[in-house]
Amino acid sequence: MSKPIYQLVDELPTGGPTVMALRALDFVIPGQWDNLVGFDNTIRTVTGETDPALVKQIGNRAVALFNDKSEGYQRALWLYQTVTGASAALGAATLAGKAISGVPFLGVLGNLAPKPEKAQSIDLAVKLVTEVVAFCQINGIPGDSVGDFLASLGDYSGESLMRMTALVCFDGLIPLGPTFADKALSFVQGSSPSDLEHNQTFKGVQELIPGNDSSGKLGFIKESFGSTKGWMNNFVSAKNLTPEKVIDNLEKFVEISKDKAQYVGPFLDVFCKYYEHTGVQTLARRLVERAVAEI
């Protein structure tokens, strides 16, 4: 890995587009997400410990666990980082060379085009499968354990629940509409292995998706998305979510032009690194919890 886990946690942003976009989703899961930043701060917050020596001991054990390649923590981080980079790749060339400061919604929206619904549907499905596989890596269970993942969704909280909320809102509702889960499943079921192979997000993370080839991996994606569709539909219904509500709340935190609302999805792909941000927070929390249990 390019950076140690403690450095990644220390360098998490406290502001900017990602944090502001996630704060805009507090209306969906009020008080669930705290932007926990800093490795020592995470240890103190998660454990309640204040003794510097014990905090250091917990931190050292957490770092050792992360560095152990027989564990799945590094692979989970790779998934979070790779899916984030792949999602942003489509817009990166368009934005190259532009001076970007603050929250540049209006400055760049005109240069972004909404992705076709099929491509967006595959992106959504691949991101969902990335969550399944990362969950399995972190918990040391087989990567195709969809049932274990589904059982755990009811217990998701904090940054993990925020990541799923952002997936539903930013990659589902805004680009695909209120029936996004059914629409996406229909597109994915009608896709071929070739469609998958041409998808930037899939190409980034295919190495860790279960399946012997593209056809097998597509089968796993269909199974995972189909199994999780009910949870996503129930979540949207229970929270009474609509694309308009999500965009209205985004407006409170970032500059959005109503007449360019169709470009919000692509902008979020490029600038909102929610998967990596909350993924690092999830990893840090799980590492600290395990380190404390072992100490």
| Confidence at residue 62, expressed as pLDDT on a 0 to 100 scale | 97
Look at the block and give the residue holding tokens 């680009």. 175
Question: By the 8 A CB rule, do 106 and 255 touch?
Answer: yes
pLDDT of residue 94: 37
Q: How far is CA 234 from CA 145, 150, 169, 223, 231, in A?
A: 22, 13, 13, 18, 5
29: phi then psi, degrees, rounded to nearest 5: -130, 75
Residues in the chain: 295
Task: Give dist(CA 217, CA 133) in Å, integer.
Answer: 12
Confidence (pLDDT) at 118: 85
Q: How many CA atoms lie within 13 A of 76 on its CB side?
A: 31
10-residue block means of pLDDT along the chain (295 residues)?
Answer: 89 95 96 96 95 95 95 95 82 42 46 67 93 93 83 92 97 92 94 89 90 94 94 96 92 69 73 94 97 93
Could you tell me the residue ranges of all domains in the chain? 5-294
Contact (Cβ atoms closer than 8 angstroms) between residue 17 and residue 272: yes
The CA-atom distances, in angstroms, between 52 and each of 56, 255, 273 are: 6, 42, 32
pLDDT of residue 101: 38
3-state secondary structure at position 141: coil
Spatial separation of the C-alpha atoms in residues 230 and 209, rounded to whole Å: 22
What would the two tokens of residue 169 be? Answer: 């809102």
Quote the pTM value. Answer: 0.90
For the record, the structure tokens of 86 come out as 């792949």
Distance in angstroms (rounded) separating the CA atoms of residues 33 and 169? 15
Residue 262 confidence (pLDDT):
64
Annotate 147-213 with DSSP letters as a single string. HHHHHHHTT--HHHHHHHHHIIIIIIIHHH-TTHHHHHHHHHHT--HHHHHT-HHHHHHGGGSSSSS
Supply angle C-alpha 158, 160, 165, rounded to 5.
Answer: 95
Match 């957490």 to its residue by tokens: 62
CA separation, residue 164 to residues 15, 81, 137, 157, 274 (Å): 20, 16, 17, 10, 10
